Amino acid sequence: MAKKVAILTGGGDCPGLNAVIRAATLKLTRAGYEMVGVRRGWRGLLDNDYIPLDLTHISGILHRGGTILGTSRTNPMKEEGGVDLLVDNLRQNEIWATIAIGGDDTLGVANQLRGKFALNMVGVPKTIDNDLSGTDYTFGFDTAVQIATENIDRLHSTAESHDRVIVVEIMGRHTGWITIMAGIAGGADAILIPEFDMSVEEVCEVVRKRHDRGKDFSIIAVSEGAKLITKEGEDKMVTQSDEVDAFGNVKLGGVANLLAKEIERRTGFETRSTILGHIQRGGTPTAHDRVLATRYGAKAADMVQNEEFGLMAALQGDEIVAVPLEVAVGERKLVRQEFWDLAQTFFAG
């Protein structure tokens, strides 16, 4: 009888998920495995919610954003009896191995299930935030950077026409990867990210210096998770509410609005704010993300066939390799000093 392999997508969606599903399903189906798609991440394993996956299901999905399987931020570790139910369901449905495509939350669960129950888990690194360790890049990141950069370009022309400062808020819950890359690519005049401090007054100085040189407009890129430092010793992260999800994550958003108000109050220059939000996660993946996601999906299939469990497909240099899941979810990958130094070179430029 063919061995059954489940595949699931958990956490926030991102462009390229379908490319992973396609590559892994194609390779494993051709190798004689039975593929089953789990609906809505870990939720589907608790609810026994599956769809069969064969070559017809994966046709025409390479370029499509989102995930054909659906996703959720369900954390089985936080549900009463959740883990036992999940393990029972896997056994009763004779699911031999699971490919979990996700970020630190989803892969953290896969790592714990591997550690506690020796389940056959393979991970694939997904997140627009690019904050997973053990891999140089996650898929979805390139697309998000591209979208953010295009938007910065658009904001430039309207800011210049109106002699305005525009603050653009970019996603990235714990890290400033998307913001710093899009900020550098889009020529932002100042960039605020969680990893390095830049106070409101320092931003205002940049804006004033530009005006002194006859540049009456500025673009400020701010990461949703950046601290708003109003004066020495006074900083805050801006959240939409006090609510947290099943993984303890707060809902960020709104720092751009507060920053814009402060800039206008302190400098007297007309300032607007734009929050890019989920626009950065939607739509078709870039060619780069399609190729990377396809390589990850193919690697995950190889790992299943070679019974290399407890590992995640990863990009190191130009090689696709396998790294322990615990490395991937251990320490968060932060923006390095090198990128911050580079970005700063152009502040007030």
Residues classed as catalytic = 129
The answer to the question of residue 222 lying near ligand F6P (CB under 6 A) is no
Stretch that binds ligand F6P, among 39-47, 167-175, 207-215, 254-262 (CB under 6 A): 167-175
Q: Which residues, 6+ apart, have CB-to-CB distance to 5 below 8 Å? A: 28, 33, 34, 35, 36, 95, 96, 97, 98, 99, 304
The answer to the question of residue 12 lying near ligand F6P (CB under 6 A) is yes
Find, among 64, 65, 66, 54, the residue nearest to 24 by Cα. Answer: 54
Q: Which residues, 6+ apart, have CB-to-CB distance to 264 below 8 Å? A: 165, 270, 271
The answer to the question of residue 127 lying near ligand F6P (CB under 6 A) is yes
Q: Minimum distance from CB of 50 to ligand F6P (Å)?
A: 24
Site string for ligand F6P, 296-335 (x = CB under 6 A): ----------------------------------------
DSSP secondary structure, 280-343, as one string:
GG-SPPPHHHHHHHHHHHHHHHHHHHTT--SEEEEEETTEEEEEEHHHHHHS--PPPHHHHHHH
Find, among 193, 255, 254, 206, the residue nearest to 230 by Cα. Answer: 255
The answer to the question of residue 255 lying near ligand F6P (CB under 6 A) is no
Stretch that binds ligand F6P, among 38-46, 59-67, 168-176, 304-312 (CB under 6 A): 168-176
The answer to the question of residue 173 lying near ligand F6P (CB under 6 A) is yes
Measured from the CB atom, is 121 or 148 closer to ligand F6P?
Answer: 148
Measured from the CB atom, is 87 or 246 closer to ligand F6P?
Answer: 246
**b/e map of 253-273 (b: 16 or more CB within 10 Å)?**
bbbbbbbbebbbebbebbbbb
Stretch that binds ligand F6P, among 29-37, 50-58, 91-99, 170-178 (CB under 6 A): 170-178
Stretch that binds ligand F6P, among 116-124, 127-135, 187-195, 310-318 (CB under 6 A): 127-135
The answer to the question of residue 171 lying near ligand F6P (CB under 6 A) is yes
The answer to the question of residue 172 lying near ligand F6P (CB under 6 A) is yes
Instruction: Give, in degrees to the nearest 5, the angle at Cα 337 between 335 and 341.
Output: 115
The residue ranges that bind ligand F6P (CB under 6 A) are: 12, 103, 127-129, 171-173, 224, 252, 281
